A and B are shown apart, each in its own frame.
Chain A
């Protein structure tokens, strides 16, 4: 785990797996998550952050996306609600 403190990221692509960000600002940044160790964000600011997924993370979203595309949006809607509520 790498801890990054009080740093400003702009126009960058960051692999966030396992990192700890404290007091950072992200502007026009792409977060790439591969499904590894969870990153943590403490007192950070986000502006125009795009999310990109690889490996297991991409596989998981592709699975959920495929369920919705096959007429099963109820399952993915439930998961989305849990993500918003922090119940995961």
Chain B
């Protein structure tokens, strides 16, 4: 089969047997059909021209003509009218049945049914057994959850830019210096800063002395 698309045939003889014509134009052509294989015409247009039947194809028209002349005109007329409207059905005699596929194959049907039932029962048994022996509603304790930070390698952690790191270090050094050194806060007012460890010790001693003094006053 050859397929022709969007072609224009003009002033020529076209043997159409077995070909497929899609969106083709036939202008003043002689369409020759020899009855070997039917062509297909899809959205084609025809301008003037004629049809010529040869070989087996011409015998078909002679058969119809002989039937018409013999007295079966009504039957032939029915075919011609439907043919002229493009409504001719092409009923074929059904192909003979495969002898293997005839008769009642109850034995084969029973065997296939038994196999299907067995497979279904096996699947049901498998899932029932699996549900009893391997229930999936228990927590998996084999790999407890770990903190996220422990899962991230340190080398992959993001680092501060150099300028911010230097500023951070200077700020932290200044805060540590304030917490661990002696200095004046307001020398005129007599306010000084002492290391925080010394401050804790001093507070404890002052609190102890105050408690002892209160107890002595209570005794007197």
Instruction: Give the bracket for the number of chain A residues in contact with chain B.
Output: 35 or more
Q: CB distance B83 to A80 under 8 Å?
A: yes
- 18-71 of chain B: CB within 8 A of chain A: 31, 33, 35-46, 49-51, 53, 55-71
Interface size class of chain B, counting residues whose CB lies under 8 Å from the partner chain: 35 or more
Pairwise interchain contact A58-B92, C-beta atoms closer than 8 A: yes
| In the assembled complex, B90 has its CB within 8 A of some CB on chain A | yes
Q: Given B49, B59, B85, which contacts A56 in the complex, CB threshold below 8 Å?
A: B59
CB pair B93–A70 under 8 Å, yes or no, is no
A66 neighbours in B (Cβ, 8 Å): 38-41, 86
Quick check: is A3 within 8 A (CB to CB) of the other chain? no
Instruction: Name the A residues within 8 Å of B63 (CB-CB).
Output: 33, 38-39, 57
Minimum C-beta distance from B30 to chain A (A): 10
Known: A35-B60, A46-B75, A61-B79. A75 touches B49 (CB 8 A): yes
Contact count A vs B, C-beta below 8 Å: 173
Q: Is B212 an interface residue (CB 8 A)?
A: no
Q: Name the A residues within 8 Å of B16 (CB-CB).
A: 63
Chain A: minimal CB distance from B23 (Å): 11
A65 touches B36 (CB 8 A): no
Q: Report yes or no: B49 in contact with A83, Cβ–Cβ below 8 A.
A: no
In the bound complex, do residue B76 and residue A62 qualify as a contact, i.e. CB atoms below 8 Å apart? no
- Roughly how many angstroms separate A50 CA and B51 CA in the complex, as a whole number? 26
Contact: A60 with B56, CB < 8 Å? yes
Q: Which positions in B face A, CB cutoff 8 Å?
A: 16-17, 31, 33, 35-46, 49-51, 53, 55-72, 74-76, 78-80, 82-88, 90-93
Seen from chain A, the residues whose Cβ lies within 8 Å of a Cβ on chain B are 13, 26, 31-33, 35-42, 44-46, 49-73, 75-80, 82-84, 86-88
